[in-house]
Structure 1
Amino acid sequence: MKKNPQTQLIHAPRKAPQYVVTVQPPLYRASTIIFDNTDALFNRHWSDDYDYSYGTHGTPTTFTLGDNITQLEGGQYCLLAPSGLSAIHLVNSCFLSQGDEVWVADNMYGPNLEHLRDLEQRYGVKVQVYNPLDVESFQPSNNTKLLWLEAAGSVTLEFPNLKALVKKAQAHHILTALDNTWGAGLAFNAFDFSDDHLSVDITVHALTKYPSGGADILMGSVVTRDQALHHQLYRSHALQGLSVSGDDVAQIQRSLASMHVRYQAQSQSTLSLLDWLKQQPHFSQVLHPADPDNISHTYWQEICQDGNSAGLVSVVFQEKYSLAEVRGFCDALQLFKLGFSWGGPVSLVMLYHIQQMRSLQHSHLHKGILVRFCIGLEDPADLIADLAQALSVLEAKI
């Protein structure tokens, strides 16, 4: 049948072979998926491992990254979301209903707590806060449905008593969800982290951080080992229309090969800075779970047995330094850039009023302005020199 040139441009008469072996997998961009025939259309189900029915449900590109993230974290099923926060929202909206109770660590990621407070105000979900270092502060009720964990916690980096918290949750048949962005599947296996094969039920991972590695892609993942939980999440995922760009997925897939090397390099640089920071009189406290003086060091050590830790370290300035002076220190930094997130090549700095971020009293935290450093891929000696010159600027202005 003769075709108009316009039609031929859409329905090309000749196509190159679609599959060749390459280092990187082919990139699929798709909203519409073409079915071979009506049998292929009707003899499928959304719960199939690879349901090629519409772009939001998955393509070979998104399933490939999902499979790799699953392998990285030790799970069996993975869903991708547009950001780490949207992955968190997926878990909350899937498993929490009116009258349910959720427990969160006092050092949890702030936007997660904000989302849960919104659910509390609008839908009657009850939010309870516990001390991640005190298992007794976690007192679940018959209405408790979900326990959120972070290892290590946001900003102040306490590593929780993960074994005891998971055991207590399991004894009460409570779902456990771990924000695994810090560990990234490399510091420990969240689905098998003890001699007793303890496991969380769900991990959430901001792929924006280490898997991306370039500070230029937003994405999140939700991983589980239980098929029933996965199907619940998958249905909510589909109903919410969550989807990710094939181009963004391909970028993260490309970065995965170097992820372990980058994670270890940033971890080692952070430990180098940790020793130096502890010697500086400007700081009353340096916060990092690998520090033997840290209150949560034992918990970190028993879970992260290979000594891995993310490239984050926080300091608390002596109380004598005002907010304006600490801001001046941050502004004086040259290699450290002022910005949120972490896991990219450029080192970052951010300052916090930590007392305003906590609802419980924590005697182990000193008073003062807290500054968090996110260590990039620069030479640690250059980063130390940058910190030293910024501290000298601080002293010169006093």
Structure 2
Amino acid sequence: MNKDEAAPETRLIHTRAERLGRVTVNPPLERASTVLFRDEAGLYGAKPTYGRMGLTVHRELEAAMCDLEGARHARLAGNGLQACALAIASLVSSGDHLLFTDSAYGPTARFCERRLKAMGVDAERFDPRIGDEISSLFRPNTRAVFLEAPGSLTFEITDTPAVVAAASQRGIRTILDNTWGAGLLHQPLALGVDISVQALTKYAVGHADAFGGAVMTRDNGLAARIAAASEDWGIALAPDDAYLALRGLRSLHTRLKAHEASGLEMAHWLAERPEVADVLHPALPASPDHVLWQRDFTGSNGLFGVILNPPPEGGMDRFFSALSLFTLGFSWGGFESLIIPCDQQLERMKGSWTQTRAGPLLRLHIGLEATSDLKRDLEGAFKALSGN
């Protein structure tokens, strides 16, 4: 396409660049709902015709996410939950059956069991370590399998290639929430997964100051279904959030290396603490999923779980009150180190290991502070927990 044949919005960008005699490192950030056209043909023939469909910064972010995930198509959403819901809803309809991992992000599980039920879809949990035995759960109306690796809060690694192989033999589509892997540490589409999803809010944005989600695929037909569902639901990502996600991607590799190094150091340190019963981190050799993590992942980050030994009465209140660097807060992926108690969020299948664990489950995000300071902070909290 030459300059004269370009779409109106592209011509406008070119014209501005020529008039100013320069171009910028960053794409233009257009805060606009209305796109102007010179004639009726442009008004009804060009894309995008409206700001909700995204403008320049959105196209740049979509292209970057395709590069990151090895995809051909990317669709943006307002947040990670919206992206998960979009991916799932593009594959199922009334009368269908969905399988989703028992370790899925809580709001995603809620969407499957509450909203999909209202839509006439039967959603069923499965053990994240089920592997190829998942075929025993398939029904004639099973349309999709939703995975998350590692699992939210509990960090199990599913044997994704085994699940994909079993599903593909029956023509069943697979989706994987790749937020922990962030595209750099894990490549679900390369393992045969049909759709990869990320909450850009986490490591992509990387600064705890914006929301975003993305749905990626290599399949043209699936891309059309995702786009149609997105348009029907009016799903959109604000231009400022798209800009911040694109900016965050530029430092993603460097930040993840720092999070990984500090996360591993803290995980090994915690594993030696007498207050700790177990550390849930797939990169640790003691993890039951370590071999799968080594096979399917290229690294780790700063997010993992810890199971404490049973604390004395009032111990957890004293523990959290004594913390100063670690703060209690949802989400993760930014500079700051975070910690949350997880027991109130755990809604798992009957007989799940989470119901027989030693003591409280905590999730930690190791930020970019000095690990010596983080250890000192936790040491003081552990002393408070014991009543010393």
Q: Indicate whether the TM-score tops 0.5.
A: yes
2-side partners of 1:19 and 1:312: how far apart? 46
Q: Distance in 1 between matches of 2:40 and 2:364?
A: 56
Q: Is the 8 Å Cα contact of residues 77 and 225 (structure 1) preserved in structure 2?
A: yes
1:125 CA drift (Å): 1.2
Equivalent in the alignment of 2:155: 157
Counterparts of 2:67 and 2:284, CA distance in 1? 30
Please name the residue that 1:370 is paired with. 361
Asked whether the equivalents of residues 162 and 299 of structure 1 are also in contact (C-alpha less than 8 Å), the reply is no
Q: Counterpart of 1:191 in 2: which secondary structure?
A: helix
Give, in whole Å, the separation in 1 of the partners of 2:345 and 2:276.
17
In structure 2, do the counterparts of structure 1 residues 70 and 128 end up closer, same or farther at CA, with 3 Å as the change threshold?
Answer: same
Match of 2:180 in 1: 182
What is the CA-CA distance between 1:228 and the residue it aligns to? 1.1
Equivalent position of 1:169 in the other structure = 167
Matched, 1:259 2:252: yes
Whether the aligned pair in 1 keeps the contact of 2:315 and 2:384 (CA below 8 Å) is no
**CA 1:18–1:325 in structure 2 vs 1: closer, same or farther (change >3 Å)?**
farther
Amino acid paired to 2:122 = K
Structure 2's unaligned 5+ residue stretches are 1-14
Which of residues 212, 216, 232 in structure 1 aligns to 2:209? Answer: 216
Alignment partner, residue 295 of structure 1: 288
| Matched residue SS, 2:188 | coil
Q: Distance in 1 between matches of 2:312 and 2:141?
A: 45
Q: Which amino acid aligns with 1:58?
A: G
**248-257 vs 291-300, which moves further:** 248-257
Q: Does the C-alpha gap of structure 1 residues 40 and 67 become closer, same or farther in structure 2, counting only changes over 3 Å?
A: same
Aligned residue among 207, 225, 228 for 1:235: 228
Q: 1:276 aligns with which of 269, 274, 277?
A: 269
Structure 1 contact 312–374 (Cα < 8 Å) conserved: yes
Tell me, which stretches of 5 or more residues in structure 1 are unaligned?
Answer: 1-13, 45-50, 193-197
CA distance in 1, matches of 2:20, 2:273: 60
Shift of 1:40: 2.8
Equivalences for residues 69-218 of structure 1 within 5 A: 69-135=65-131, 136-137=133-134, 139-192=137-190, 198-218=191-211
Matched, 1:319 2:310: yes
What is the DSSP-based 3-state SS (H/G/I as helix, E as strand, rest coil) of the residue aligned with 1:155? coil
Q: 2:27 matched to which residue of 1?
A: 25
Note the C-alpha offset of 1:361.
Answer: 2.2
2:370 is aligned, of 374, 379, 385, to: 379
Question: What is the alpha-carbon distance in structure 2 between the residues aligned to residue 66 and residue 242 of structure 1?
Answer: 15
Instruction: Give me the whole-angstrom Cα distance separating, in 2, the residues matched to 1:18 and 1:133.
Output: 58
Cα distance 1:58–1:19, how it changes in 2: closer, same or farther (>3 A)? farther
RMSD over aligned Cα atoms: 2.0
Residue in 2 that maps onto 1:244? 237
Q: Secondary structure at the match of 2:189?
A: coil
Sequence identity percentage:
36
After superposing the two structures, state which structure 1 stretch, 120-129 or 162-171, moved more.
120-129
Contact 2:311 2:386 in 1 (8 A): no
The corresponding residue for 2:8 is none
Contact 1:217 1:248 in 2 (8 A): yes
Structure 1 CA distance, aligned partners of 2:219 and 2:154?
A: 32
**Amino acid in the other structure paired with 2:88:** N
Paired AA for residue 201 in structure 1: D
Question: How far, CA to CA, are the matches of 1:373 and 1:42 in structure 2?
Answer: 50
State the SS of the aligned residue for 1:99. coil
Give the distance between the partners of 1:255 and 1:355, measured in 2 at CA.
Answer: 29
SS in structure 2 of the partner of residue 95 of structure 1: coil
Partner SS state of residue 337, structure 1: coil
Matches of 2:155 and 2:294 in 1, distance apart?
14
**Paired amino acid for 1:371:** L
Shift of 1:264: 1.3
Q: How far apart, CA to CA, are the structure 2 residues paired with 1:295 and 1:30?
A: 50
After TM superposition, give the deviation of residue 111 of structure 1 in Å.
0.5
Q: Which amino acid aligns with 1:38?
A: E
Matched residue SS, 1:102? strand
User: For the residues of structure 2 that align with 1:171 and 1:360, how far apart are their CA atoms?
Assistant: 29
- Residues 213-269 of structure 1 show CA distances to partners (whole Å, capped at 9, x for unaligned) of 110101111111111111111111111111121122112212211111111110110
Aligned residues: 370
Q: 1:340 aligns with which of 330, 338, 341?
A: 330
Once the two structures are TM-superposed, the CA of residue 206 in structure 1 deviates from its matched residue by 0.3
Distance of 1:396 and 1:252 partners within structure 2: 44
Give the C-alpha shift of residue 366 in structure 1: 2.4
